[in-house]
A and B are shown apart, each in its own frame.
Chain A
Amino acid sequence: MATPMNIFDIAGRAMSAQLVRLNATASNMANAGNVTGAEKDAYRAIKPVFRSVTESPGVSTVKVENVVTTDAKPVKRYEPNHPLADKDGNVWEAAVDSSAELVDMLEASRLYQNNVQVLQTAKSLMLDTVRMGK
């Protein structure tokens, strides 16, 4: 990085990371309850992995290292009348814990708000500094 990291980078990147998390939660919620006829085709919840990026001691932001699929097992349900049921009459429901996803969504949105607040405070302080002596 050419220019040293400043407070706007720190909070801005954290906001991007939380947004990725929010998108992952939205994808999981959208697929919750989906059923498929084979276990391998069933949807599995996706989660972003956060890692902190440190430039100098104490100055660090966060980035999304990768997005992983959880190893939760899709739920097998016996429903012979279902159009997608396999030859044994089973369907597989997406491996999404919707209450955990909702909690995740709340946390992500709160942390996003926190970073917006940090950005607003930093912005007003910087503007005050620029206007100093006028």
Chain B
Amino acid sequence: MPPTGKILPPLPVARIGVAEPFAKALQNRQFSKLARPLLITGRMNPSGNPMGRTARVQEDLGADEKMAWDDALFGVHGKALQLRSQRLELLASNIANASTPGYKARDIDFEAALRDATDRKESVAQAMNGAMGYRIPLQPSLDGNTVELSTEQTLFAENAVKYQTTLSFLEGRLNTINRALKGE
């Protein structure tokens, strides 16, 4: 804005009388949000270990807010890649602790995690925590360790391949955009 030389009126000072309706509206909005039913989901670990309960309380989204999460450029693949990478770390942790007494192997329900991350627009960390559970060992060992290397290695390899698949989907999108930008 070009300088006009005119002295501008002072900025309006917020007075209680003016701000009150707004605060009330805010309060009402918060109230209506809280009044919605809460959906509680949780997964128990098989041994009943209190540590294993990963319960979470999440707000049930209204139909109007439940629009599909869409990233114009990467679609579902951006979140999928993040989740795959996190799961890779999780399975690597299991393999690293294959000989630690008392270690309990964990994994995530990938489908549920992806659904939470996309439909419910949760952060990747939240989605991971929500879909995490303990692995049920086929043959429990005496030292309390529930890592079974055959299972972990198979899932690790599978996850690595799926990571690469997601990566190639992303690469395809990038190539498309690149081609459009270059106008070839």
A52 to B171 CA separation, bound complex (whole angstroms): 37
A133 to B132 CA separation, bound complex (whole angstroms): 32
* B88→A60 contact, CB < 8 A: no
Q: Which residue of the partner chain B has the closest CB to A14?
A: B96
Which secondary structure dominates where chain B touches chain A?
Answer: helix
A51 to B101 CA separation, bound complex (whole angstroms): 8
A128 to B168 CA separation, bound complex (whole angstroms): 9
Partner of B89, one of A52, A58, A129, A132: A58
Given A7-B88, A52-B103, A114-B149, residue A62 in contact with residue B96 (CB < 8 A): yes
Which secondary structure dominates where chain A touches chain B?
Answer: helix
* A121→B106 contact, CB < 8 A: no
Interface residues of B, count at CB 8 A:
35
Residues on A lying within 8 angstroms of B by beta carbon are: 5-7, 10-11, 13-14, 18, 21, 50-52, 56-62, 107-108, 111, 114-115, 117-118, 121-122, 125, 128-129, 132-133
Given contact pairs A50-B100, A59-B90, A107-B99, a sample of 10 additional A-B residue pairs in the complex whose CB atoms are under 8 Å apart: A6-B89, A57-B132, A58-B106, A59-B89, A118-B95, A118-B96, A121-B156, A125-B88, A129-B81, A133-B175
